Structure 1
Amino acid sequence: MAMFLLYAPILASFLCSLYLFHRRKHCTHPLLKDYFILGMLPPVIFNLWRIHDFITEVLKLRGGTGEFKGPWFTKMNYLITCDSLNVQHMLCKRFDNYIKGPEFREIFEPFGDGVVTADSDTWKYFRTVLHSLIKQRRFEVFVDQTVQKKVYTTLIPILDHAQQEKRVVDLQDIFNRFTFDNICSTIVGHDPKCLSFDFPEVAIEKAFNESEESIFYRHVVPGSVWKFQKWLQIGQEKKMTEACRTFDEFIYSCIASKREELSKCTEEETNEAPFDLLTALITEERGRVHDDKFLRDAAFNFFVAGRETMTSALTWFFWLVSKHPLVEAKILEEIRDHFKRNEKKNYDTVHYGHGFDEQHVVRQNHDQEDDLKQYLSGEVLGMEEVKKLVYLHGALCEALRLFPPVPIERKQAVKADVLPSGHGVNADTMIMFSLYAMGRSEEIWGKDCLEFKPERWISERGEIAYAPAYKFIAFNAGPRICLGKDLAFVQMKMVAAAILNKYCFKVVEGHVATPTHSIVLLMKNGLEARITKRE
């Protein structure tokens, strides 16, 4: 016993040295200080409240790329980068070698086998089907009308009411409710009316929020921990299970009612029905019957892609604009110029194009037709009009550059490779690239990278200047670039133009814009502001 006590410290010291030697041998480009047993996790936990700025600072010190090692005996080992050439290599040049992988699908469990998580043939099929639907003129017209009507009949009246009562409003909550109603109408043809004067709590909307928080949680704790919590059904994992049950019940009920509704329609009635995504997927199966699971996964992926990203982008956009009055003045000047032109136009006829002969949009009753003419008379700019708003487009690009809705992306290497930065990658290596850090990189955007400058997106000819997708990464790059990018821009511009044309916003004094702990970059405490009408 005495001999054991004598040699125990020596043995412990030897094992520690062996452990540190092993870690250092396999970690040639450490991102952070490696703590015994705990790895590099302690400084991450300590800086979790400002995690994205912390990662940006660390990557800058390490030349843009470094290795993160988690606690011993965990799989929390990543290569983290903000080098645009590395990103181009992974997303474009060697696309087939960098996949989402099974671990990604496990973490993003609620997404199922949708376009966000799928790889290989499953992903290709999903993308082909969705691409053919989104690019149809009929779908674009349906989205155009849905957004315009929601803005005119709900968003503007609620903001009017708030400014009349001189109430402080949470703009993020308003955008969240607006985009949720809008995406529900677009995907399943149903408006849950989250955005209404009494601001009700809607179970399905709450479920989406909780599932995203749980996915973020799965990123920052060892897999063994959250899997154990899932088995016991405690903590964040219990919330995840309950959230999945809630939105699955909602989506599957929508699928069932939509199938029943369409089964009773003639072919002519089906062609004249509103062209929501679920209707399109069911009626345009092209010889392949899509089961309910396929429809569920497609719907869920579009819910997340179309809802949270727009909420995030609009929230940070309005916060940035409120801090830059000169930018706001230029945006307003451009918007008002186009509103004046819009008032002179006649919107009595709306053409579908692309094979559709109808000269008038199908409406369910005369009241809706009257509403349509009313809000198309100048209150809300349509898709074709907002495409001409170049400065507003630049301001939105700046907001997306500085505050990308999805701040971190991850990939898994299939085979060993060497990145342009010189860092070696083994098979199965997990790689994370920080979109947030890329937007603040001097190497990509220059010395003024932290400035909010819409002008960087405008060419000398006064047209939109496009940056390579692997640098401006908010919509992904390469073969997986976002299918709804153009649609997202026009919707954001329609909302922003309608609001800024009528109202001024002043962020409440003392309000701190802090990012949430979620897979989507939202504000932790919302965006509280006071509203006044413009003169």
Structure 2
Amino acid sequence: MALFSSSPELLVLSILVVVVLGGLYIIKCRSSSQNNPSSSVPRNWPVVGILPSLVLNLHRLRDYVLEISSTVHTLKVGIATIRIFITSHPENLQHIFTTNQANYPKGEEFAEIFDVARGTLFTVDGELFRRSRANHQGVLSNPLLVGLMIKSCRDKVEEDLLPLMAHLATTRAPVDMSDLMVRLVFDLNVMSVFGMDPARLSSQNHDRMPPPMGVANAMDTVMEVGFLRHIVPPSCWKAMRRLNIGQERRLSAAQAVLRNFAADMIAERRRIKKKGLLIQVGQEPVDVMSSYIDDPSYISNDDNLLQATLITYMIAGRDTVSTTLPWIFYNLSKHPHVVSAIRDELAPIVSRKAPSAAAAPTTTTMLLFEAEEVKPLVYLQAVLLETLRLYPPIPMVRKSVAAEDVMPTGDKVCAGDIVLVSLQSTGRMEAVWGPDSQEYRPERWLLKDGRLRHVPSHKFPAFVMGPRLCLGKDIAMALLKIIVASVVWNFDVDVLDGQVIRTKLSCLLQMKDGLKVMLNKRERSSM
């Protein structure tokens, strides 16, 4: 299936061919767009196939995929005939992820793309996947671990996030809300996986540069280079990996950072246990690592699988929350009536939990919302779901085809085809969500009697579906509610005008240049 030879000379020649044909393609597209502006069907060129089209649209690749998912189905990529089936149709999603899911594994190539997580739940298929999922489900359903995650979030918001935001509000300087949320969620993630607080978000960091985010940045690199590996011919990125050049060199360094971090955490835990520092029953940690560190099936082969498993928990644990939070605050800033509705829903909780504070308008004490208080809030839930509909953390999922099959839409796929499922496109389909499908409107999730509307996962696939349904969905939603409620009640968050909000070329729907905001602490008298 290779488009390029592995040798450096032919690799360079192939790149030159792409550049030349890409230039010709740009000229042709500019000419044809004047005659047919709506044309978005990519052309299959000799040798390089649709690669010039991808290069041309790299700066807007997600929008491009959304366009061709409704006009193009099976594509040839070069003489090697790599066939790509792009779909966002809900019935096809149900077929791929549920009805006939055994025919659509992630495949060996996916495992190679994310080799830092090889052998884990994220990359395996079949019986190994079923056993691994059952194991992970048991870990994440442990009430002690869930309690640790909720308590860590509650304490982190109270002790670090809200005080730090209050300080930043006094500076009257722009704040990168995206960076703030990434730091918060990174701390929470490491606390749940390893049982220690890396303090990358700390209220003690008021007057000095924040601590470096090497491990978090390494996780971002894995997802960014993983994205490039999806769209670059395998022989090309594998050649770059062997030569240790370009993005592959960057990825290699990031993987080393992650493995070393995991190895250090494992070694420290074993040192503590060896010295008998955890001697009393009930003092054993309840973090994720404690569930695997003594499991023989994970600690063989120099801890490679144990490290990969913990890295996978780190990456998966932060994706939904840290990627979604900036989009929530971005949309809330654009829709002040939604902010007012959230505060109206929180007001009865405030009156119940802090009558003395409500009676003293001069106090500056900030209010924190507990998980059990915000869990039943329907409108807040609708706000989160509406954000996830338009901005799913993982906007596209890749599958392979094991055997020839026919989709519910009548499209035929063959063994060896690549299937790209655009979850973002499904969440924006007019046929599913109505003529205002592109608009941010949380009210669409509410029934007339005030209850939450149920939408099946093949129409709302933000958490994927079927056997691959996100195991941390409920935990993620609980953390999001605590964070959003506490911030919205205590602060006005205003997005600075003039920003161009762009997304990274990544497997995650992250903001490329952050989200610059002004923070204003709400006075108690205005509450």
Q: What TM-score, normalized to structure 2?
A: 0.85
> CA offsets per residue over residues 71-122 of structure 1, 9 Å max, x none?
33374x3100011100100100011111010001111112222111111122
Give yes or no for contact 1:53–1:437 (8 Å, CA) kept in 2: no
Give yes or no for contact 1:309–1:520 (8 Å, CA) kept in 2: no
State the shift of 1:246 in Å.
1.0
Distance in 2 of aligned mates of 1:443 and 1:252: 49
Look up the equivalent residue of 2:62 and give its one-letter code: H
Q: Of the candidates 345, 349, 352, which is equivalent to residue 334 of structure 1?
A: 345
Aligned pair in 2 of structure 1 residues 524, 267: CA closer, same or farther (>3 Å)? closer
Give yes or no for contact 2:395–2:508 (8 Å, CA) kept in 1: yes
> CA offsets per residue over residues 289-340 of structure 1, 9 Å max, x none?
6543332222111111111321111111111111111111101211233233
Residue 520, structure 1, aligned to residue 527, structure 2:
no
Distance in 1 of aligned mates of 2:414 and 2:144: 46
Residue 269, structure 1, aligned to residue 280, structure 2:
yes
Q: Of the candidates 247, 252, 256, which is equivalent to residue 241 of structure 1?
A: 252
Question: What does 1:2-21 correspond to in 2, within 5 Å?
Answer: none
Structure 2 counterpart of 1:159: 165
Look up the equivalent residue of 2:197 and give its one-letter code: D
Structure 1 counterpart of 2:192: 186
Structure 2 counterpart of 1:502: 490
SS in 2 for 1:452: coil
Structure 1 unmatched runs, 5+: 1-29, 346-376
Distance in 2 of aligned mates of 1:112 and 1:339: 47
Structure 1 counterpart of 2:362: none
Bigger shift: residues 292-301 or 468-477: 292-301
Q: Of the candidates 274, 277, 289, which is equivalent to residue 278 of structure 1?
A: 289
Distance in 2 of aligned mates of 1:378 and 1:507: 22
Structure 2 counterpart of 1:113: 119
> CA offsets per residue over residues 476-507 of structure 1, 9 Å max, x none?
10011011000000001111111111111111
Q: Of the candidates 367, 371, 387, which is equivalent to residue 379 of structure 1?
A: 367
Distance in 2 of aligned mates of 1:388 and 1:298: 33
Q: Of the candidates 210, 215, 221, which is equivalent to residue 204 of structure 1?
A: 215
Aligned pair in 2 of structure 1 residues 264, 340: CA closer, same or farther (>3 Å)? farther
SS in 2 for 1:32: coil
Structure 2 counterpart of 1:443: 431
Q: Of the candidates 123, 129, 149, which is equivalent to residue 123 of structure 1?
A: 129
Give yes or no for contact 1:163–1:533 (8 Å, CA) kept in 2: yes
Structure 2 counterpart of 1:38: 48
Q: Of the candidates 222, 225, 228, which is equivalent to residue 217 of structure 1?
A: 228
Look up the equivalent residue of 1:171 and give its one-letter code: M
Distance in 2 of aligned mates of 1:215 and 1:248: 17
Q: Of the candidates 68, 74, 77, which is equivalent to residue 75 of structure 2?
A: 68
SS in 2 for 1:313: helix
Distance in 2 of aligned mates of 1:466 and 1:204: 38
Structure 1 counterpart of 2:406: 418
Question: What does 1:335-484 correspond to in 2, within 5 Å?
Answer: 335-343=346-354, 379-484=367-472
Look up the equivalent residue of 1:338 and give its one-letter code: I
Distance in 2 of aligned mates of 1:49 and 1:258: 44
Look up the equivalent residue of 1:483 and give its one-letter code: L
Distance in 1 of aligned mates of 2:367 and 2:494: 23
Distance in 1 of aligned mates of 2:104 and 2:281: 41
> CA offsets per residue over residues 254-286 of structure 1, 9 Å max, x none?
112223323455987353344211113336x5x
Distance in 1 of aligned mates of 2:172 and 2:187: 25
SS in 2 for 1:404: coil
Distance in 2 of aligned mates of 1:324 and 1:289: 48
Structure 2 counterpart of 1:98: 104
Aligned pair in 2 of structure 1 residues 270, 188: CA closer, same or farther (>3 Å)? farther
> CA offsets per residue over residues 167-210 of structure 1, 9 Å max, x none?
10000111111111110000011211112322222322222122
Structure 1 counterpart of 2:262: 251
Give yes or no for contact 2:298–2:306 (8 Å, CA) kept in 1: no
Bigger shift: residues 460-469 or 411-420: 460-469
Aligned pair in 2 of structure 1 residues 388, 343: CA closer, same or farther (>3 Å)? farther
Identity of paired residues, percent? 32
Structure 2 counterpart of 1:362: none
Bigger shift: residues 477-486 or 250-259: 250-259
Look up the equivalent residue of 2:42 and give its one-letter code: L
> CA offsets per residue over residues 416-471 of structure 1, 9 Å max, x none?
11110101111121101101111111122121111111112223332222211111
Bigger shift: residues 288-297 or 96-105: 288-297
Look up the equivalent residue of 1:70 and give its one-letter code: V
Aligned pair in 2 of structure 1 residues 395, 518: CA closer, same or farther (>3 Å)? same
Distance in 1 of aligned mates of 2:280 and 2:415: 53
SS in 2 for 1:509: coil
Look up the equivalent residue of 2:138 and give its one-letter code: S
Distance in 1 of aligned mates of 2:504 and 2:241: 23
Structure 2 counterpart of 1:349: none
Alignment RMSD (CA, Å): 2.1
Residue 148, structure 1, aligned to residue 142, structure 2:
no
SS in 2 for 1:532: strand
Distance in 2 of aligned mates of 1:326 and 1:128: 43
Residue 486, structure 1, aligned to residue 493, structure 2:
no
Distance in 2 of aligned mates of 1:245 and 1:74: 35
Distance in 2 of aligned mates of 1:191 and 1:472: 34
State the shift of 1:234 in Å.
0.6
Give yes or no for contact 1:176–1:308 (8 Å, CA) kept in 2: no
Residue 324, structure 1, aligned to residue 335, structure 2:
yes
Q: What TM-score, normalized to structure 1?
A: 0.84
Look up the equivalent residue of 1:390 and give its one-letter code: V
Distance in 2 of aligned mates of 1:290 and 1:232: 31
Distance in 2 of aligned mates of 1:475 and 1:382: 24
Structure 1 counterpart of 2:142: 136
Residue 85, structure 1, aligned to residue 91, structure 2:
yes
SS in 2 for 1:319: helix
Aligned pair in 2 of structure 1 residues 42, 462: CA closer, same or farther (>3 Å)? same
Look up the equivalent residue of 2:76 and give its one-letter code: K
SS in 2 for 1:269: coil
SS in 2 for 1:164: helix
SS in 2 for 1:488: helix
Look up the equivalent residue of 2:213 and give its one-letter code: V
Distance in 1 of aligned mates of 2:47 and 2:297: 52
Look up the equivalent residue of 2:73 and give its one-letter code: G
Give yes or no for contact 2:44–2:78 (8 Å, CA) kept in 1: no
SS in 1 for 2:69: helix
Give yes or no for contact 1:408–1:432 (8 Å, CA) kept in 2: yes
Distance in 2 of aligned mates of 1:249 and 1:270: 30
Bigger shift: residues 198-207 or 525-534: 198-207
Structure 1 counterpart of 2:16: none
